Structure 1
């Protein structure tokens, strides 16, 4: 039976068990999972608990290697670096290796270690637009001295977040198709919110994406409370107030919350029918009446997805929220509405899908097929910023 050493990132992301393999867990992996359960952010704690439960539920498919390996395969390598210990364990025991870490994969290939890919069929978050890697000093120097080398197989407009060995963020870049360029972003201002700044590293990447004039399809996905609408709407309103766009076309597929009864027929004009779905935009401009005024002045349009076919939307931001409740056909329809000098902005959370049909026919997964196109950019947010109380939802 093939013995496959599984890296921590594989267990955190989850995979489908292959009954023909025996999965090996090193002692350092157990220590990392334990550390993440206590000191990680909300999602990391959640993933770590799931990983421990996954191992326990499939214990017959796992074995544990508790040896603390000394690196002997190359004396120039750091003995305290976890990746080197993994390589040593594979060489000593004939393990195959399963990891998402591209740097570790490259080193494994150098030493003839067989790589086994995890089954990602169940993983809906395939492309995130952001790659996080941990570098040592030598790897960092390559980034700065040879930024034209795409050693990590980044797609165009994909971001790279770099951490040091103790997990601290030390730098951030974007692959522009020719080289790694430093991420630069600036605060935005609106009349109602005043100055708005990014609150974490991934929001900084999102600010950079939203401020990139060359990218016309901008997607932000991620958990509830991570700032998707907050960051995107404040940018859209700021562009409107500064004359950088003529109009915000706020579009949504009016799918009610899963297992919640619909409130029935709504009286009134289009504004009255759409306003409950457009409250994130109303909050950003100072309230419902201000939003009504902006609609009357032609600065904002509230558009139901069912009535957007045939439109040619020019000089506008076509802003689509709750995109997880859209199909592949909807994704193509929305892209086809983007006219001259317009952009398509999308956000959503695939874990908050309210109809099963959108799980099997996902607009989010369809739009990700544009990854690597020069006109497409994506950032996936992973940290709840709404409040400490809101972050409790990740624990249940």
Structure 2
């Protein structure tokens, strides 16, 4: 492919020719939500105006979905630098459209350069139609992100009004979805509430405290570090099935293991860990591991993580021998079930499961079993098969809103400052 931008003129052509398309202009939304179009179409053109719009979004405090989309686009765009149009265009197509609105300028550029427009934006499509500009709507996933909570800011009087009307679902919460309430003046956390299907319930204890934490003989004290971790613990303790999502270092494993072991020690549960050992994307595989099933698991990335939490492999073996713990790979799950005894299943690194594998795991669950599903399908998927058919996403679509299901997306990296900065790579 050559550089299509050389020799472009800024003066508008008199007539748009659908039969002689010179390239494809992409709007901001598509570049962020579906950057794969950069690989699908030849002769893609990205304007400097769109890039500046993305830079402005990056500077704003947004939820982690948008942050991830921006990082993903920037990584992919490095391969398409020849298709960035550095020209700063001025809008003069018509007087009744704003000169400051990037989409209006994109319409003009399509006319100037005889380009097709790639967009899913309804208004932009309509504007292109006015000038008979060819519009391509890329295929997009119909998956709707669900963080498991909504965040609002309230004055004291508004909060008092809320407490008087706990049976009203004014925020359109799903069953077991949380409401994080912050002070409208200083942003201080005031309360966390959960819609149980009939009314709002506060997560505060009798003394008005949030997030008191857990204590076990095995791991000592664990106290949640932010409101999302508070919600994740509450969901595990009160729902049969909980999905905990978050970036590396956000506390998924700490929450899952500390809460699960609290149930092991205090309520007599047995912990089953379901794993699907998957080599890290782009890493070099080391060949076959020696030993039996457990020895092989202990040499995998999952085993390394568990050893870091339990202290060493010997402690894991002791807990297995004592009947408190069992580790099962997905390859051996068919025919297994948790039975009628009190059990808690922790499905690790679930971003590396297809829908069928997730279905297989969940079909092993009895009525007296709790389930924790953890992972991060935004940034830690290690095989393309899991990205195109992701079990965590499908589970969320099917179970969200059910009385037995809760979901929480962790927002903050707590491991270290290095881990936080590394997330931007």
TM-score > 0.5 by shorter chain: yes
Q: Deviations over 1:254-288 (max 9, x none)?
A: 11101112221111122211113233333333321
| Alignment partner, residue 71 of structure 1 | none
CA 1:332–1:49: 2 relative to 1, 3 Å: closer
| Alignment partner, residue 320 of structure 1 | 347
The secondary structure found in structure 1 opposite 2:323 is coil
From 371, 376, 381, give the equivalent of 2:405: 376
From 274, 286, 291, give the equivalent of 1:251: 274
Say yes or no: does 1:343 pair with 2:362.
Answer: no
Larger radius of gyration: 2
TM-score normalized with structure 1 length = 0.70
* Native 8 Å contact 2:32 2:70 kept in 1: no
Structure 1 residue 124, shift from structure 2 partner: 6.1
CA 1:174–1:162: 2 relative to 1, 3 Å: same
* Native 8 Å contact 1:218 1:344 kept in 2: yes
TM-score normalized with structure 2 length = 0.66
Structure 1 residue 165, shift from structure 2 partner: 5.1
The secondary structure found in structure 2 opposite 1:174 is strand
The secondary structure found in structure 2 opposite 1:284 is helix
| Alignment partner, residue 284 of structure 2 | 261
Structure 1 residue 127, shift from structure 2 partner: 1.0
Structure 1 residue 228, shift from structure 2 partner: 0.3
| Alignment partner, residue 194 of structure 2 | 174
Q: Deviations over 1:47-84 (max 9, x none)?
A: 78999999x9999898548xxxxxxxxxxxxxxxxxxx
Distance in 2 between residues matched to 1:237 and 1:390, nearest whole Å? 26
- Number of residue equivalences: 323
Distance in 2 between residues matched to 1:64 and 1:137, nearest whole Å? 39
The secondary structure found in structure 2 opposite 1:238 is helix
CA 1:52–1:306: 2 relative to 1, 3 Å: closer
Distance in 1 between residues matched to 2:59 and 2:185, nearest whole Å? 14
More deviation, 365-374/156-165 = 156-165
| Alignment partner, residue 352 of structure 1 | 380
| Alignment partner, residue 258 of structure 2 | 234
From 178, 196, 199, give the equivalent of 2:222: 196
| Alignment partner, residue 176 of structure 2 | 157
Structure 1 residue 192, shift from structure 2 partner: 3.9
CA 1:202–1:336: 2 relative to 1, 3 Å: same
The secondary structure found in structure 2 opposite 1:181 is strand
CA 1:139–1:389: 2 relative to 1, 3 Å: same
Distance in 2 between residues matched to 1:341 and 1:138, nearest whole Å? 42
CA-based RMSD of the aligned residues comes to 3.9
| Alignment partner, residue 295 of structure 2 | 272
Distance in 2 between residues matched to 1:303 and 1:218, nearest whole Å? 19
Distance in 2 between residues matched to 1:301 and 1:343, nearest whole Å? 15
| Alignment partner, residue 220 of structure 1 | 244
More deviation, 231-240/317-326 = 231-240
CA 1:63–1:145: 2 relative to 1, 3 Å: farther
| Alignment partner, residue 421 of structure 2 | 392
Distance in 2 between residues matched to 1:301 and 1:282, nearest whole Å? 14
Distance in 2 between residues matched to 1:63 and 1:133, nearest whole Å? 34
Distance in 1 between residues matched to 2:223 and 2:139, nearest whole Å? 35
| Alignment partner, residue 307 of structure 1 | 332
